[in-house]
């Protein structure tokens, strides 16, 4: 998936004209890229469209139109676009109640390393987490993690030929499996990957 450059972005004016329909398109796209892991954790799989939306929204809110500032946003978000052999996801731990969330995050240290994805009968793939940032302390984990799942050529081939995907989290204090993912999600995630020739 190619990275975004300034020429891919709409000007603030054009974006504000098109925002309503663009937003509707992104929201329906995101529905196929959201995987719940139990009641309090969700994987949001990023791609070029989700990142473009993120950048356009930041530029809009902060009224950014200077080239250098736009480049900074591109540098921050381009690494979250998959490279053809991987999935990139934002992992969020979500509790409506603040004190409940604090208590849970203290019990979930290391949770991001216990996540896994599996294609068909292939072995589970654990993510490379938070490559650019330190996201946990000894007391608690962060509520947001950035993950990269690297897939082998064999896994990609299986997926392209229709194999199912399952995901899960195996932390001692939080344990959930998705079962086989719905076809709309499988198709959207398969589109992130390229066959190696």
Tokens of 27: 């929201």
User: Do 91 and 69 share a structural domain?
Assistant: no
**Model pLDDT, residue 89:** 96
User: Do 13 and 110 share a structural domain?
Assistant: no
Give the residue numbers spanning the domain of 65: 1-31+48-81
User: Do 103 and 176 share a structural domain?
Assistant: yes
Q: Count of domains in the chain?
A: 2
User: Do 140 and 74 share a structural domain?
Assistant: no
User: Do 187 and 147 share a structural domain?
Assistant: yes
User: Do 189 and 168 share a structural domain?
Assistant: yes
pLDDT tens digits along 155-164: 999 999 999 9
First to last CA, the chain: 16
**Model pLDDT, residue 5:** 94
User: Do 111 and 15 share a structural domain?
Assistant: no
**Model pLDDT, residue 142:** 86
User: Do 147 and 99 share a structural domain?
Assistant: yes
**Model pLDDT, residue 141:** 85
User: Do 158 and 94 share a structural domain?
Assistant: yes
| Three-state DSSP string of 105-133 | HHHCCCHHHHEEEEECCCCCECCEECCCC
pLDDT average per 10 residues of sequence, the chain (197 residues): 90 94 96 96 96 94 90 91 95 93 93 95 93 70 92 95 96 95 96 83
User: Do 148 and 95 share a structural domain?
Assistant: yes
**Model pLDDT, residue 34:** 97
User: Do 110 and 40 share a structural domain?
Assistant: yes
d(CA 79, CA 87): 11
User: Do 144 and 91 share a structural domain?
Assistant: yes
pLDDT tens digits along 123-155: 999 999 887 666 666 778 888 999 999 999 999
């Amino acid at each position: 998936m190619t990275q975004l450059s300034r020429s891919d972005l709409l000007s603030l004016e054009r974006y504000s004209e098109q925002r309503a329909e663009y937003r509707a398109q992104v929201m329906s796209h995101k529905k196929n890229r959201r995987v719940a892991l139990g009641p309090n954790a969700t994987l949001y799989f990023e791609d070029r469209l989700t990142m473009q939306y993120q950048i356009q929204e930041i530029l809009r809110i902060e009224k950014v139109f200077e080239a250098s500032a736009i480049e900074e946003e591109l540098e921050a978000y381009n690494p979250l676009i998959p490279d053809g052999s991987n999935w990139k996801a934002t992992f969020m731990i979500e509790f409506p109640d603040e004190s409940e969330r604090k208590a849970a995050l203290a019990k979930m240290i290391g949770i991001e390393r216990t996540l896994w994805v599996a294609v068909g009968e292939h072995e589970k793939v654990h993510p490379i987490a938070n490559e650019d940032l330190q996201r946990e302390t000894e007391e608690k984990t962060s509520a947001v993690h950035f993950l990269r799942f690297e897939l082998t050529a064999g896994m990609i081939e299986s997926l392209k030929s229709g194999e199912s995907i399952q995901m899960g989290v195996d932390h001692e204090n939080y344990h959930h499996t998705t079962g086989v993912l719905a076809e709309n999600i499988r198709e959207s995630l398969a589109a992130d990957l390229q066959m190696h020739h």
